[in-house]
Amino acid sequence: MLRLVALMLALCAGGAQAAAVDAPFLWKVQGPKAVHYLMGSVHLLPASAYPLPPALDAAYAQTRALVLETDPGSLETPQMQTQMLQAGLSAGGLGKEIDAALYARVREQAQKSELPTSACDRFKAWLCGLTLTLVEFQRSGMNPELGLDLHFHHRAQADGRAVSWLETPESQLAVFAGMTAAMSAEFLASSLDDLSEPGWRPESMVDMWRDNDTAKLGGLIDDTRKEFPDTYARLLGDRNRAWVDTLVEKLNGATPQLVVVGAGHLVGKGSVVELLKARGFAAEAMAAP
């Protein structure tokens, strides 16, 4: 599925080299009363990714309110973590939800990730796919506590800025928890395909972000849309359209907004950027592709 799991979790940055582009995945949006910014989120980062490219900090400084995908504070609560685990537990066990060949691949990947081979046995397929991918990102030094969402959320809280979000944590969880059994198994299989692809490593995603390679990321997403239209619609397309109605209202206001969402939502056909342009907004990329 062309790294769809990775696109949902993060566009990850690794290594110690400086950013190649001053304004990666950043767009300026001219509203009728104010200038706003859209920023492609990197949900997991290593400490070496800081300080951020200067234009990202400048976009924050030039705005007065923050818009995120969802409330990160709620996501971190024990109640929400418990709710996610309960939604992802399989009554009959993973082995009864997927075929034997896919189950064998799960156990093989768990062993490669230095987990017990039974690590996913109690999970539904979608939670297993997320877990195995997240483990590999974290084994490579990626930390969700250092992601752009939390970084700017913490800054906004310290500065007393208004923070809002485009969907509730419950609706974000439902994107995965509401998958059909077939879609959930497809999601898991694609996760394993990505993890086993020769030469793939979480750090390789950094090149797209640092180099502002919106064309490459957009191509990956468009390929996914064509190959797996239902899964694409559930994870990206439908949410993009739902978000735009809320964003139009905010971007029509007089308060400059910094909108930070997953980078995968901002590129490709049907992206938030494309949909906003269709609604009459001028969205200008701050760095050349």
State the Cα–Cα distance between residues 47 and 141, nearest whole angstrom.
Answer: 9
pLDDT in tens, 70-84: 998 887 788 888 999
* Phi and psi, residue 46, nearest 5°: -90, 165
pLDDT in tens, 35-71: 999 999 878 877 888 899 999 999 999 999 999 999 9
Higher per-residue confidence, 204 vs 145? 145
pLDDT in tens, 168-209: 999 999 999 999 999 999 999 988 988 888 766 776 666 777
Give the residue-averaged pLDDT of 278-282. Answer: 96
Higher per-residue confidence, 4 vs 53? 53
In the prediction, which pLDDT does 6 show? 45
What residues have CB less than 8 Å from 80, skipping those under 6 apart? 74, 169, 173
In the prediction, which pLDDT does 61 show? 98
Beta bridge partners of 45: 143
> What pTM value is reported for the model?
0.89
Residue among 101, 73, 231 at smallest CA distance from 163: 73
Provide the token pair at 266. 């901002």
